Each structure stands twice: as C-alpha cells, then as structure tokens.
C-alpha cells in the first residue's frame, strides 16, 4: 500500500537506479535489482520501472514518474536505506498542496450539493453524513500521521480506517487522495535543510 511507504517524485532513469543500487549494496548485503516493464521482468534496456529487493522485501521501487522507499520493513537496514536515499537527494523537492486542496474543495462542493438529495430518507441521510465525516476525519488523521513519529503499526491502523472510510463515502472521496499523496511526499522532504530548497520547490 503506497500510503504506508515514503513517496518521491522522479522520472525513471536506469543509470540513476543502477547507481543507487550500487551504493546501497555497499551498505546492505544480499540486495537484488529487478528491471520491469508492465509488471514483467525484462532486461535493463527495455525497462520502464525497477525494484530493489532483499529476499522478499522490496526496499525501493521506481516507476515511470515516481517511486517509493519502505524503511518500515527494512529492519536493521533502515538507517542505511535512509542515508543512501538522502545521499541521492530523493524526495528533496518540496511537494505542492495546491492540487490536493483544490480537489478537497471540489469534494466539499459535491458533498454539500448532494446533502439535500438524501433528506427524503432520514436513514440514508444519516449514513451518508457519517461516511462523509469519517472520510474527512480519517484523511486528516492520515495527513497528521505523516508528521507524527508514530509506529508503523499505528500508521497501518490509521490507513485501514482511511481506506474503509474512502470506500464507504463513495467514489467522490478519491478526490481526497492528492492531499494524502502530497502529505506523504513531505516526509522525505523534511530530511533536507529547509533553507536550501527554494530552487527545488515545485
């Protein structure tokens, strides 16, 4: 689940991934670099994505335009993974919340616009209102969890509640995803000195 990993925005670059793998291999033994395209394992020259694995654990994943690292499953290798990630400047760019805020405003407009449609049935209206409140509350909880130093287990519980609320609150709730995406990317951004990021802001 992407929302339990640390996201970064970067276009796929096979040379960059290879360099990242080589440096990370100096710190972590037993790593494997797998080149992929459309979910299938391919040769490097045909790849559009890649993953770095240790056994069955995927520590790093790079897609066509973005990727993630997963320090939570890295165990004793967590610090090494974070150090190399910072060395290669992954996640240094400051994420923009404009899309997330805009989508949330659209979501609220849709929600308030449909409230009157369910007034004829008190039960349906109550369920709908509760689902909307749950979606907004758990989205706020997810955004806060990315800033708080919570354990992975607590984050997993928050993420489960958020997913359930999004599903129950109907398809329009997917408009809340960009806000969570931006908040997630902020995690890696906070590794870097804030006064040196103006030139990297999107």
pLDDT tens digit string along 76-94?
999 999 999 999 999 988 8
Flag whether 93 is in a domain.
no
Q: Strand 31-37 vs strand 66-69: parallel, antiparallel, or unpaired? A: unpaired
| Cβ neighbours of 63 (radius 10 Å) | 15
Last residue of a domain, one of 52, 87, 122: 87
Residue 120 has pLDDT above 80, yes or no: no
Flag whether 92 is in a domain.
no
Tokens (6 digits) for 45: 């020259």
Flag whether 74 is in a domain.
yes
Flag whether 38 is in a domain.
yes
Q: Give the pLDDT confidence score for residue 9 in this predicted structure.
A: 92
Domain check: are 75 and 145 in the same one? no
Domain check: are 66 and 11 in the same one? yes
Q: Say if residues 37 and 50 touch (Cβ distance below 8 Å).
A: no
Domain coverage including residue 191: 98-200
Q: Strand 49-54 vs strand 40-41: parallel, antiparallel, or unpaired? A: unpaired
Q: Give the pLDDT confidence score for residue 147 in this predicted structure.
A: 82
Flag whether 27 is in a domain.
yes
Question: Which carries the bigger pLDDT value, residue 116 or residue 180?
Answer: 180
Sign of the dihedral defined by the CA atoms of residues 188, 25, 12, 55, in that order: negative
Q: Mean pLDDT throughout 155-165?
A: 87
Question: Which carries the bigger pLDDT value, residue 143 or residue 151?
Answer: 143
Domain check: are 150 and 70 in the same one? no
- Supply the pTM of this predicted model: 0.80
Picking from 101, 109, 113, the residue whose alpha carbon sits closest to that of residue 139 is 101
Q: Mean pLDDT throughout 149-167?
A: 84
Residue 199 has pLDDT above 50, yes or no: no
Flag whether 112 is in a domain.
yes
Domain check: are 144 and 77 in the same one? no
Contacts 24+ apart (CB under 8 A), 24-29: 24/52, 24/59, 24/60, 24/80, 24/81, 24/84, 27/77, 27/80, 27/83, 27/84, 28/54, 28/59, 28/77, 28/80, 28/81
Flag whether 131 is in a domain.
yes
Domain check: are 125 and 80 in the same one? no
CA atoms of 75 and 45, how far apart (whole Å)? 32
Domain check: are 10 and 78 in the same one? yes
Q: Which of 19-23, 113-117, 191-195 has the lowest mean pLDDT?
A: 113-117
Domain check: are 75 and 104 in the same one? no
Domain check: are 72 and 115 in the same one? no
Q: How many domains does the chain have?
A: 2
pLDDT in tens, 30-60: 999 999 998 899 999 999 999 999 999 999 9
Q: Give the pLDDT confidence score for residue 55 in this predicted structure.
A: 93
Last residue of a domain, one of 87, 117, 146: 87
pLDDT-based confidence at 202, cuts 50/70/90? very low
Average pLDDT, the chain: 86
Last residue of a domain, one of 37, 55, 87: 87
CA atoms of 59 and 21, how far apart (whole Å)? 11
Q: Calculate the alpha carbon distances from 70 to 124, 126, 183 in Å.
A: 40, 39, 16
Domain check: are 81 and 33 in the same one? yes
CA atoms of 30 and 191, how far apart (whole Å)? 26
Domain check: are 118 and 77 in the same one? no
Q: Say if residues 8 and 188 touch (Cβ distance below 8 Å).
A: yes
Domain check: are 50 and 106 in the same one? no
Domain check: are 196 and 121 in the same one? yes
CA atoms of 183 and 75, how far apart (whole Å)? 24
């Amino acid at each position: 689940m992407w929302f339990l990993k640390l996201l970064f925005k970067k276009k796929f670059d096979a040379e960059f991934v290879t360099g990242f793998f080589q440096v990370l291999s100096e710190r972590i033994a037993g790593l494997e670099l797998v080149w992929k395209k459309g979910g299938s394992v391919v040769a490097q020259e045909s790849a559009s994505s890649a993953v770095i694995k240790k056994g069955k654990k995927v520590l790093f994943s790079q897609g066509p335009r973005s990727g993630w690292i997963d320090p939570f499953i890295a165990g004793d290798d967590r610090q090494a993974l974070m150090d190399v990630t910072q060395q290669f400047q992954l996640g240094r760019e400051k994420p923009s919340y404009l899309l997330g805020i805009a989508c949330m405003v659209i979501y609220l407009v849709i929600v308030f616009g449909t409230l009157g449609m369910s007034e004829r049935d008190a039960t349906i209206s109550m369920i709908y209102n509760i689902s909307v409140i749950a979606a907004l509350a758990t989205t706020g909880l997810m955004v806060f969890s990315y800033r708080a130093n919570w354990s992975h287990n607590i984050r997993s519980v928050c993420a489960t509640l958020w997913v359930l609320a999004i599903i129950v609150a109907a398809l329009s709730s997917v408009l809340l995803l960009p806000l969570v995406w931006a908040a997630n990317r902020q995690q890696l951004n906070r590794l870097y000195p804030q006064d040196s990021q103006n030139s990297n802001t999107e």
